Amino acid sequence: MDFAQQNIWLILLTLVSGYMLIGGGLMGRLSGVKQVGPQEAVMLFNHDALMLDVRENSEYTDGHIPKSKHIPLGQLGKRLSELDKYKDKPIVAVCRSGSRSGHACGMLRKAGFENVHNLAGGIMAWEQAGFPKEK
């Protein structure tokens, strides 16, 4: 018990980290949003998927997936009508690490988009896989 009292911040940090690593992926699965890796994202893109980048403007201009559509997460709710023509097509949401894009996937699902995917690991995973970016 002394250990727990002396290391409460360490224990809380461990619990929060575990939730972020495990809970986030579990919540994505429960919400019906499929997590895809960079290779799967490319296959979806080759079959007419929309790559939706939800990062902020400065992040997007630093480098983004070619031919991706940019709508920052904070504007997505107001700009959903721009995506209406993709309602029956796959959409792959992208952010820096996969967290914001997961939230965007939830918003899209609530708006009636059925075929929504989250790029697991975000643009960082895309870069690590050696896929191109453009500025």
**The pLDDT of residue 2:** 73
CATH class of the domain comprising 32-128 = alpha beta
pTM of this structure: 0.77
Coil, strand, or helix at residue 47?
coil
Catalytic positions: 95
- In the chain, domain spans: 1-30, 32-128
| CA-closest candidate to residue 73, choices 30, 34, 118, 31 | 118
Coil, strand, or helix at residue 97?
coil
**The pLDDT of residue 32:** 64
Region 67-90 average pLDDT: 96
Is pLDDT of 24 > 60?
Answer: no
Contact 95, 123 (CB under 8 A): yes
How far is residue 66's CA from residue 52's CA, in Å, rounded to a whole number? 11
Strands of 13-95 (E only): list them. Answer: 34-36, 50-53, 69-70, 91-94
Chain Cα centroid distance, residue 63: 16
